[in-house]
Structure 1
Amino acid sequence: MILAMDIKELTRAEEQVMQELWKLQKAFVKEIIEQMDEPKPAYNTVSTIIRILETKGFVGHESFGKSHRYFPKISKDEYKDFATGKLLSGYFDNSPQNMLSFFVQERKLSLKDADALFKLLEKAKKK
């Protein structure tokens, strides 16, 4: 398991590539590009981003001659935990209540969303 302090923040472009790799689990650069929205980035751009992600410890690869098939070394859940913690500490003073209040007031949670949250809280209470 990777510690949160070992995880580095992703740039927007890196995160886009990781989102596709998390879905695919193992992929060559061309397969990642095929999954991306239009306009598709250039092969060299995605290849460079993948190499940066390898340097940051997010991605590993298997060699097939001169080709490489890439795979995530950090799970989406591990990165989600890191990013949420960063958001919570950086913008909401480490207060889940402040964060939830923001979403209720600014993002206008629907009654359906609020009901689902209450059910989660009730379930957590019972544990």
Structure 2
Amino acid sequence: MARRPQDVTEAELAVLQLLWDRECATVRELMDELYPEGGSSPYATVQKLLERLEAKGCVRRDRESWPHTFRPNVGRDELIGRRLQSTADQLCDGSLQPLITHLVQNKKLSARDRNSLRELLDELDSRSRRKKK
């Protein structure tokens, strides 16, 4: 099955994760993190990954500075949401419920995670009740 154009590959995701952590970086800075052994081929690889991410609207390039710097144009939460919905569409006819159930039942949730989940559900219930009034 072909990927949709906005899908992010694992290699592109590695670049995005660095940009989320750093906020902005040059090709060289990203290359140094991803390929500490250096070389010209890794530089071209990172440059190509950034070009693809830019074409997908996931990063933006500051052409005013030299060397150009890149910033994330999509947030981590937004990408998580897109990927989860895509997985739900492919595996669960669009429903997130089976994914959530699987994660809750099969992964060890910390007390903090359980409390956060309860608070989120309580907030959603509260919003739902307010809308019905």
Report the TM-score, using the length of structure 2 for normalisation.
0.71
SS at match of 1:67: coil
1:96, distance to aligned residue in structure 2 (A) = 2.8
Instruction: Give the distance between the partners of 1:83 and 1:39, measured in 2 at CA.
Output: 31
Kept in 2: contact 1:17–1:32 (CA 8 A): yes
* Distance verdict in 2 for CA 1:96–1:52, change over 3 Å: closer
Match of 2:63? 63
Residue 102 of structure 2 aligns to which amino acid in structure 1?
F
Instruction: Give the distance between the partners of 1:37 and 1:123, measured in 2 at CA.
Output: 44
SS at match of 2:60: strand
1:64, distance to aligned residue in structure 2 (A) = 5.0
Match of 2:119? 119
Provide the aligned C-alpha RMSD in A.
2.9
SS at match of 1:61: strand
Q: Which runs of 5+ in 2 are unaligned?
A: 128-133
Q: Which runs of 5+ in 1 are unaligned?
A: 1-5
Q: Percent identity?
A: 28
**More displaced 10-residue stretch of structure 1: 15-24 or 117-126:** 117-126
Give the structure, 1 or 2, with the largest relative contact order (CA under 8 Å, sep 6 or more): 1
Q: Which has the larger radius of gyration?
A: 2
